[in-house]
Amino acid sequence: MLTILAFTSAAMAAEPRHEITFDLGSLNSNDPAWNIVGGQQSPSSGIRAGYGAKPWLTVIGSWHLSRIQTDHGASYYDYEEPHADIGHDSSTHESNNASNGQVLSELSIHHVSLGAKFSHEVQNWLVPYATAQGRLHIGSLRVTDKWDAEDASIDLNASGLGYGGSVSAGVELRSKPIGGSMSLAAHLELGYSLSTAMDFAVESEGSSASIGSLNYNGATVSAGVGLRF
């Protein structure tokens, strides 16, 4: 963050070609596995910064964060008093199964992007644009029986990495320059993203068993406000 601030400080004396914005958005996925962790839309927020190489070309980089906490429900079957020995076989009778504790998951995903933004100034205040970006999704998944780690008897942590890209089109609204070197800007953009799956696994004593995987293959939408300098 300090690097970004230093970068913007140095650039402020020039005409406003660079940008920094605060974004809110949603990344959608058609992967049904997302339904287990709150649905197929991941809200995200973060920062996007751009370096204006040309009036029509900006090199953009961004960091966004999605965080989803899910309670997987406390009563999805009726509990009966246990009565059976394990024996040498098992059956489909489910009434003797576990009912204590919670099933909670917390998914945090850092989205890091780098790409180009192509702009065409229709009016001083109205600038349509398109972007193409490469994306890295760095996910961490926590599965636990208590939110408070100190109280949890089971607390699993797994990480996954996915990569891909996105294209988007949007429109940017710019204010009149303030003091000749800085202006306010707001944008709204829609796009589509493709990525490889983030694979999460339970690691134990040299073994690895899959918890599952999540990808971002779907539409994206984001809106933001920021400064041009």
Partner 1 sequence: MKWQPFSLLAALALVGCSAETNEPINQDLWSSELVSGVDGVYVRLPHAGKLIRLSDSGAIEEVDLNGASPQRLVSVPDGSKTLAFAQWTECEDEDEDIVYLSDCDSDDIKAHTELHIVSDGVTTGQLDIPSFINTLSFPGSGELANVAVAYLDDTQITGLEINGVVDLGAVYFIDMDQGQIVGSTSVGFSPDRILFGQDNKAIIMSRSKVVVVDLNTYQQAFEAPLTLDADQKIDPSGAELAYDADSQSEILLLTVENSADLYMLNLKDEFWNIGDLGSVPTGIGVDQETGKSVFVFGSSSKAIVLNNSELATLNSSSIQTISLEEPANKTIVANKSAVLYNDANDYVHDVYRIDLETSDLTEYVAENPISSLKLNADGSKAVAVMKPEFGSGSYQDANWGVAILDLGSNDIVNLVAESRPVGVEIIDSEDVSYALVLLSGLDYVLKLDLANPRNAEQIDLPAAPLSLGTMPDGRFLIAHDSKLGMVSTFDPAASADDALTTHSGFAAVGLLKNNKLPRRGEEN
Q: Which of residues 81-100 bind partner 1 (CB under 8 A)?
A: 81-94, 96-100
Q: How far is the CB of 113 from partner 1 (least distance, A)?
A: 14
Residue closer to partner 1 by CB (options 66, 166) is 66
> How many of the other CB atoms lie within 10 Å of CB of 202?
13
Judged by CB under 8 A, the residue of 51, 102, 132, 177 near partner 1 is 102
Question: Which is nearest to 117 in space by CA: 31, 206, 222?
Answer: 222
Tell whether residue 156 is a contact of partner 1 (CB under 8 A).
yes
Q: How many CA atoms lie within 13 A of 66 on its CB side?
A: 24
Q: Which stretch binds partner 1 (CB under 8 A): 52-60, 66-74, 118-126, 169-177?
A: 66-74
- Encode 54-78: b = buried (16+ Cβ within 10 Å), e = exposed: eeeebebebbbebebeeeeeeeeee
Q: How far is the CB of 98 from partner 1 (least distance, A)?
A: 5
> Is the CB of 122 or the CB of 188 nearer to partner 1?
188
**Per CB under 8 A, which of residues 19..48 are in contact with partner 1?**
20, 22-24, 31-33, 35-39, 42-47
Task: Rule CB under 8 A: choose which of 126, 154, 169, 188 binds partner 1.
Answer: 154
The footprint of partner 1 on residues 45-64 (CB under 8 A) is 45-47, 63-64
Give the contact letters, 103-142, x = binds to partner 1 (CB under 8 A), - = no.
x-x--x----------------------------------
Under the binding rule (CB under 8 A), the answer on residue 13 touching partner 1 is no
b/e 108-134 (16+ beta carbons within 10 angstroms → b): ebbbbbebebebeeeeeeebebebebe
Whether residue 158 contacts residue 209, with contact meaning beta carbons closer than 8 Å, is answered with no
Under rule CB under 8 A, residue 151 binds partner 1: no
DSSP 177: P
Stretch that binds partner 1, among 50-58, 75-83, 118-126, 165-173 (CB under 8 A): 75-83
CB of 6 to partner 1, least distance (A): 10
| Neighbouring residues of 142: CB distance < 8 A, sequence distance ≥ 6 | 105, 106, 107, 155, 156, 157, 158
In terms of Cβ atoms closer than 10 Å to its own Cβ (0-12, 13-18, 19+), residue 177 is middle
If binding is defined by CB under 8 A, does position 226 make contact with partner 1? yes
Comparing CB distances to partner 1, the nearer of 109 and 127 is 109
131, 117 contact by CB (below 8 A): yes
Binding flag, residue 159, partner 1 (CB under 8 A): no
